[in-house]
Chain A
Amino acid sequence: MTEKRVDLLVIGAGPAGLAAAIAAKETGIDSLLVLEREKDPGGILRQCIHNGFGLHRFKEELTGPEYADRDIARAMELHIPIRCGTTVLSVSSGRKVTCVSPSEGLQIYQAGAVILAMGCRERPRGALCTPGTRCAGIYSAGTAQRFVNLEGLMPGKRVVILGSGDIGLIMARRMTLQGAEVLACVEIMPYSSGLNRNIVQCLQDYSIPLYLNHTVTEIRGRERLEGITISQVDENRKPIPGTDISFDCDTLLLSCGLIPENELSLGAGVRLSPATSGPVVNENFETSVPGVFACGNVLHVHDLVDHVSRESALAGKAAAEYIRSGAAGAETIQVTDGDGVRGTVPQMIHRNASADIDLMFRPAGVYRSSAAVVRCGGEEILRKKAMIYTPGEMAVLTLKAELLQRLPDSVLTVSIERTE
Chain B
Amino acid sequence: MEKVITCINCPVGCRMTVMLSDAGDVLSVSGNTCPRGDKYARQECMLPLRVITAVLPVPGSPTPLSVKTASPVPKDAIPEVMRELSRVRPVLPVHAGDVIVKNILDTGADIVATRSLL
Could you tell me which A residues sit within 8 Å of B by CB distance? 46, 49-51, 61, 63, 65-66, 69, 148-152, 177-179, 195-197, 199-201, 204-205, 387-388, 390, 392-393
18 contacts across the A-B interface (CB closer than 8 A): A49-B114, A50-B53, A61-B51, A63-B68, A66-B96, A69-B96, A69-B115, A151-B62, A152-B57, A177-B52, A177-B78, A195-B11, A196-B6, A196-B7, A197-B8, A205-B78, A387-B12, A388-B13
A149–B66 touching, CB < 8 Å: yes
Residues of B within 8 A of A197 (CB): 8
Interface residues contributed by chain B, number (CB under 8 Å): 26
In the bound complex, what is the Cα–Cα distance between A313 and B105 (angstroms)?
Answer: 43
- Please indicate which of the listed interface residues A177, A199, A204, A387 has the most CB atoms of chain B within 10 Å of its own CB: A177
A69-B115, A196-B6 given as contacts; is B54 within 8 A of A392 (CB)? no
In the bound complex, what is the Cα–Cα distance between A150 and B57 (angstroms)?
Answer: 10
Residues of A within 8 A of B7 (CB): 196
B11–A65 touching, CB < 8 Å: no
A63-B114, A200-B8, A388-B11 given as contacts; is B51 within 8 A of A150 (CB)? no
A49-B66, A205-B75 given as contacts; is B6 within 8 A of A65 (CB)? no
B50–A49 touching, CB < 8 Å: no
In the bound complex, what is the Cα–Cα distance between A197 and B10 (angstroms)?
Answer: 8
B60 to chain A, nearest CB (A): 12
Residues of A within 8 A of B78 (CB): 177, 205
B13–A196 touching, CB < 8 Å: yes
In the bound complex, what is the Cα–Cα distance between A50 and B50 (angstroms)?
Answer: 11
In the bound complex, what is the Cα–Cα distance between A195 and B10 (angstroms)?
Answer: 9
A315 to chain B, nearest CB (A): 27
In the bound complex, what is the Cα–Cα distance between A65 and B96 (angstroms)?
Answer: 9
B53–A49 touching, CB < 8 Å: yes
List residues of B (65-118) whose CB comes within 8 Å of A's CBs. Answer: 66, 68, 75, 78, 82, 86, 96, 114-115
Closest to A61 in B: B51
| Cβ contact of B50, chosen from A66, A199, A205, A390, cutoff 8 A | A205
Number of A-B contacts (CB under 8 A): 71
B contacts with A: majority SS: loop
Could you give, for residues 45-57 of chain B, a 1 whenever the CB lies within 8 Å of some chain A CB and a 0 otherwise?
0000011111101
Residues of A within 8 A of B11 (CB): 195-196, 388, 390, 392-393
A308 to chain B, nearest CB (A): 19
B63–A152 touching, CB < 8 Å: yes
A389 to chain B, nearest CB (A): 8
A51–B51 touching, CB < 8 Å: yes
| Cβ contact of A387, chosen from B33, B50, B64, B115, cutoff 8 A | B33
Residues of B within 8 A of A65 (CB): 66, 96, 114-115
Closest to A65 in B: B115
Residues of A within 8 A of B13 (CB): 196, 388
Instruction: List 6 A-B pairs, minimum CB-CB distance, nearest first.
Output: A152-B64, A49-B66, A197-B8, A196-B13, A65-B115, A63-B114
A148–B55 touching, CB < 8 Å: yes
Residues of B within 8 A of A46 (CB): 115
In the bound complex, what is the Cα–Cα distance between A196 and B66 (angstroms)?
Answer: 25
A61-B51, A69-B96, A177-B82 given as contacts; is B8 within 8 A of A196 (CB)? yes
B55–A63 touching, CB < 8 Å: no
Residues of A within 8 A of B66 (CB): 49, 63, 65, 149
| Cβ contact of A152, chosen from B51, B53, B55, cutoff 8 A | B55
Residues of B within 8 A of A149 (CB): 55, 64, 66
Residues of B within 8 A of A196 (CB): 6-8, 11, 13
Residues of A within 8 A of B68 (CB): 49, 51, 63
Closest to B50 in A: A201
Residues of A within 8 A of B53 (CB): 49-51, 63
A65-B114, A388-B11, A390-B11 given as contacts; is B63 within 8 A of A178 (CB)? no
B107 to chain A, nearest CB (A): 16
